[in-house]
Amino acid sequence: MAYDEGHAEILRNHLASLQGIEEKKMFGGLCFMLNGNMLCGVHKGGAMFRVGKENEHPALAIEGTSPLSFTKKKMGGMLDVDEDLLENDERRTVLMALALQFVGNLPAK
């Protein structure tokens, strides 16, 4: 398994009350989609959140975040999240709110 199922369960529980959430295995991890758009996901060693370029600066101020760069190239508006942040309810909730704000405004796919 390329990701920690316990971390997937944390996100699954966090998103349980929302409509339009689907799970999709991608890139050796598990992504959570909101209305067909990537919202967040888990991968080996942590997670990723799609906050959008407008929310990137405030999101990077949260301890445990860094720019996402799976291919050694920074992916704008996407953040890598360490395990400590993912397991911290308060920091994860703030980050999830930024991701939901961005992805929730995208047209459904």
The reported pTM is 0.93
| Residue 18 counted as domain residue | yes
**pLDDT greater than 80 at residue 71:** no
- Beta strands at 29-34 and 46-50: parallel, antiparallel or unpaired: unpaired
Residue 7 pLDDT grade (very low, low, confident, very high; cuts 50, 70, 90): very high
Q: Residue 37's domain is classified under what CATH number?
A: 3.90.1150.30
| Residue 97 counted as domain residue | yes
CA distance 85 to 61: 12
Query: What is the per-residue pLDDT for 1?
Result: 54
Mean pLDDT (the chain, rounded): 94
| Residue 108 counted as domain residue | no
Query: What is the per-residue pLDDT for 78?
Result: 95
Q: What is the DSSP string of 30-53?
A: EEEEETTEEEEEEETTEEEEE--H
| Residue 109 counted as domain residue | no
How deeply is 40 buried, as exposed, middle or buried, from its count of CB atoms within 10 A (0-12, 13-18, 19+)?
Answer: buried
| Residue 96 counted as domain residue | yes
User: Could you tell me which residue, 17 or 26, shows the higher pLDDT?
Assistant: 17
Question: How many domains does the chain divide into?
Answer: 1
